[in-house]
Structure formats: structure tokens, C-alpha cells
Structure 1
Amino acid sequence: MRPDDLREEDDGAARPDHDVPDLEGLVAERDRVRAEVERLRREKREAEIELSILKGALDLVGKERGADPDNPANREKTILVKAVSAGHGIPAERLLARVGLARSTYYHQSDAMKRPDRDEGLLALVRDVFENSLRRYGYRRVWLELRNAGIVVSAKRVMRLMTRHGLVPLLKRARRYSSYKGELTKAPDNLVNRVFHAEEPNRLWVTDLTEFSIPAGKVYLSPVIDCYDGMPVAWTIGTSPNAELANR
């Protein structure tokens, strides 16, 4: 080792040149870490803004029946932009592209919100008719009720009001058909007690009805099974699941 490869330290000892920290490398690594942290912060902020937009859309229109949080109206989008802008302290114009709202539309809706709502009085009447129908009337029936009361308004306007405010009629589910009407006569004694096994042939027979769907309609099979070996003793086929079918 050459003498100029050694440096004197504070304590008087000498060490090789390669043990000296690479200050330029450390600075570069520091700058890289700072840049990565800043990138992660930006991504986190963007994700928070996106989450606020989704939550805001659900809060605005998702709570009302018939509203679509994935496709809100321009008015709801404007309200959403204003709320997120105020909550995150960012300009509203930065959010317009995120919610699919044109700049001119945003300012038009903002100005319209400052004006008195001309539909406020009509909305109260529409809501009264709708609620008095136990939320069953659609916009046509509501419009007819208003017209019969002497209120002149177009059906389309009633439809837009009801759609905007989530006044969607409750749909009754069709009751599934069931032919079972309960026991028509007293049930016979339970002689088998769910022990479907016999030690000898022709000691215990059981029967039931099975429904089949064929192109011509429904048919019913009534077999008689010997519990000794599980083989059918006899069977009948008919178009009605009644006692006569089993008795034959």
C-alpha cells in the first residue's frame, strides 16, 4: 500500500481511501428517496380525491331509489365537484374531467343553483300524490291526479321531477305459483315411521308422485316400491296428481 493511499483521522489512525463514504452517491440516493416519497404522496392524494368522488356520488344519488350513482345528472356532478373541491382545497376545474363535466356546464349549473327553483312548488304536489299512493304511482298516474285537480303541467315534466328526486314506484314481486293448499283431509297414521326397509318381499310398499315436464305438458308418475329390494311393483301415469292416480 502506498503512503498516499492512507489518510490521517482525528485519532491519528490511518485507513484506506475506499472506506471514505461516497458523498455524491449518498446525495443521489437521498434525492431518489425524496422523489419516491413525493411520488407516493401524490398517488395517495389522487386516490383520496378519487375516493371522495365515489363516496360523494353515493351520498348524493345512491340513497334514493332509482338513482344511478355511476351516471349522475349534471346538477349532481356540479354539487359533487363543489364538495370535493372544498374538502381537499383544490380548484374545482381540476375535477371536471374526473366526473365527466364540461367547464361551461359546470358554471351554468352553478348559476342555476343560485336562482330560485321553479319546480319547488310542483315537487311538493308531486311528492304528496306519490306518498298518498303509498309509493305505488308512476309518473303517468301522478300526472293524471294533478290534472284532475286542475294543475296544468306536462307529463314529461312530472317524469323528470320524479326521476331526479328518486320518486320511483315500489314494484310488487309476482307471487310464485304454488298448487299446494295444505292437507285437505286428515293425514293417515305413520305406520312406517321412516323405516323404509323390509325383511321379506311384499311386506312394505310405499308410493309417491313425481312430476315430469314433456313437450305435450306435465305428466305424473305414481310408482309402488317394495322396500325389500327397492324394485317397482307397479306404476301408473296420469295428467293429474290426485289420489285416484295413486289408488290405481
Structure 2
Amino acid sequence: MKSRPPSARSLLGDKLKVKITEVYKGNFSVYGLRKLWAGLKREGTDFARCTTSRLMADLGIRGVRRGKTYVTTIISDELQERPKDFVKRVFAAPSPNRLWVADFERREAISNLAVMKGHRPRSVAADC
């Protein structure tokens, strides 16, 4: 048990947590750190951005992340039996730095795609 009274930082943090929760819920619970901090400043509650970040973490508040979502179509099961290796590959090296694994890829280069019309090489005279 704590025998000392709560610190000024924790008392201020408790008041600010209430304000942060109000602004967060008032904006459909989608604001992240940047917008929540700006919203608090707009309402007259001006304090450090790192304080907002710390109190948001204490409250478990996170902004909505928009962007690319990943859809997995295969759910791996670690208990499921793996397919048999009919090629008899061995990925064990007899000693350190002795295993070589390579992946070959064929690329063809097409040269002379661009033909410059009306271009003549010029000689450059330099003063020596």
C-alpha cells in the first residue's frame, strides 16, 4: 500500500484523462494522437504532446488506422501434417558456412530500343 499522497503529475493526469476521453468519444472514437492533441488545444486544454501520448496509452485509446487491409485466405495449422519432400532436399550444412542456397531468375535485356533521329555525335574541342 502507498502511504504517501498522489503526486501532482498523477492528479493532473486524472483530470486530463477525463478531458481526453470526452474529446475522443465526441469525435466518433476515431481520432489518433495528432488530431486528439489538436482538438484538446482547440478546446483550451494546452499541454505537451508526449503527455497526451502517455495518457492515451494508459486509457488504451488508439486512433483508427485507414489504408491497406490484408486478407488471408489460408489459415496455417501447425498441427497439420506437411506434404512429403519427394525431391529429398537437405538443408543441413556439414559445417559452418558450407550451405549454399541459390534462386535463379532469367532476365532478358533488349538493347537499342530507342533510336535517336537526327543525332550526330559531336566532337568537343578542349583548350589544353
TM-score of the pair, normalised by structure 1: 0.24
Please state which structure has a larger fraction of its residues in strand. 1
Considering Cα pairs closer than 8 Å and 6+ residues apart, tell me whether 1 or 2 has the greater RCO: 2
TM-score of the pair, normalised by structure 2: 0.44
Question: Which of the two has higher C-alpha Rg?
Answer: 1
